[in-house]
Structure 1
């Protein structure tokens, strides 16, 4: 067996060990590196970020849609986190003022 073949087998084994996925879990696998994902949108984001030169037009479109959805979700999370911190701050401020 050549060095390249053993490296390929080692890489597959490393991917399998690094990402232990239950057998019955639905997964989407990256065709370029074999990494498994639980959601198709996560796979689209991975392909766009890690394999941008290998994508066709449909995969680029899927990446852009997934990226836009992720940005919207992050914006909502940031607003909720900021609101929670403000409420916590003023709540603690009121407790301190009363005690």
Structure 2
């Protein structure tokens, strides 16, 4: 087995890819790995798990982008109002 740099806590049981032996801290990460690196060898259940994990990841990224945009807009208007008050 190849040594991989992972963030699996020492007391946790890793989810290991049966194709390449790479460990993951969460089942969701394993499903994403399978879909990206071993797409040709997926069963129907594994493909469904990948699609579910991909949809959840997409939703998380969309939420992060909206929160980041809201933060930048709030920061911009905060500086704008501060500038208006100071000058």
Q: Which has the larger radius of gyration?
A: 1
2:32: which partner in 1? 45
CA RMSD, Structure 1 to Structure 2 (Å):
1.6
With structure 1 as the length reference, what TM-score do the two structures score?
A: 0.78
From 61, 66, 73, the equivalent of 1:74 is 61
| Farther-moved stretch of structure 1 (17-26 vs 78-87) | 17-26
With structure 2 as the length reference, what TM-score do the two structures score?
A: 0.88
What is the CA deviation profile of residues 46-83 of structure 1, one whole-angstrom value per residue up to 9, with x for unaligned ones? 00001101111110010001111111111111111111
Higher helix fraction (1 or 2): 1
Higher RCO (CA < 8 A, seq sep 6+) = 2
Q: What are the ranges of 5 or more consecutive residues in structure 1 without an aligned counterpart?
A: 1-11
1:80 and 1:18 map into 2 onto residues whose CA distance is 30
CA contact (8 A) 2:31 2:46 kept: yes
Q: Aligned pairs, how many?
A: 86
Q: What are the ranges of 5 or more consecutive residues in structure 2 without an aligned counterpart?
A: none
From 1, 8, 30, the equivalent of 2:17 is 30
Closer, same or farther: CA 24–66 of 1 in aligned 2, 3 Å = same
